[in-house]
Amino acid sequence: MAIRNILQLGDETLRKKSFEVTAFDQKLHELLDDMKDTLIKANGAGLAAPQVGVLRRVFVVSVDGEYFECVNPKIVSKSGSQDGEEGCLSVRGKYGSVKRPYSVTVEAFDRFGKLFKVNAKGFLARAFCHEYDHLDGIIYVDKATNLQEEGR
């Protein structure tokens, strides 16, 4: 396990579309383990593989003591809406308000290739949407209003 370098806004890798995972192998497990370590060290709510330079459809989310590893995720339903503040480990020192669905259902594979489904609302739904966007090269600053510097 290891801490990986988190790419910052301006790195073109963050703007690319990630590819589906086809092998649920040791390399994927190492990636997921490293992403967990990296997320914990950075004290973030989520981290997507392209943020560590790996263009694969993988993200991890850690919200309120719940931890999810999502491989080839799909947002299969969305409802409602919410406005709230977001930041990103690839956009240091900024935050901004983003409109997101209030609740989402995500289908994804775990590290062993087993399909699972999770219903999320509130901040957890926000985190899933934010991380999912990373897999398509979308960063929250594209959607944010009131983008501000931290430490007002």
According to the binding rule CB under 5 A, does residue 88 interact with Co ion? yes
Q: Which residue, 21 or 89, has its beta carbon nearer to Co ion?
A: 89
CA distance 140 to 91: 9
Position of minimal CB gap to Co ion = 88
Using CB under 5 A as the binding criterion, the count of chain residues that bind Co ion stands at 1
CA distance 17 to 115: 22
Active site residue 149: no
Q: Which residue, 32 or 88, has its beta carbon nearer to Co ion?
A: 88
Taking a C-beta distance cutoff of 8 angstroms, is the pair 113, 24 a contact?
A: yes
CA distance 132 to 73: 8
Helix (H, G, I), strand (E, B) or coil at 29: helix
CB under 5 A: which stretch of 10-18, 80-88, 101-109, 143-151 binds Co ion? 80-88
Q: Report in angstroms how near the CB of residue 130 gets to Co ion at its nearest.
A: 5
Q: What per-residue string of b and e applies to 36-54 under the rule 16 or more CB within 10 Å gives b?
A: bebbeeeebbbbbbbbbeb
Q: Which residue, 89 or 108, has its beta carbon nearer to Co ion?
A: 89
| Active-site option among 20, 107, 131, 150 | 131
**Which spans of this chain sit near Co ion (rule: CB under 5 A)?**
88
Active-site residues, by number, are 131
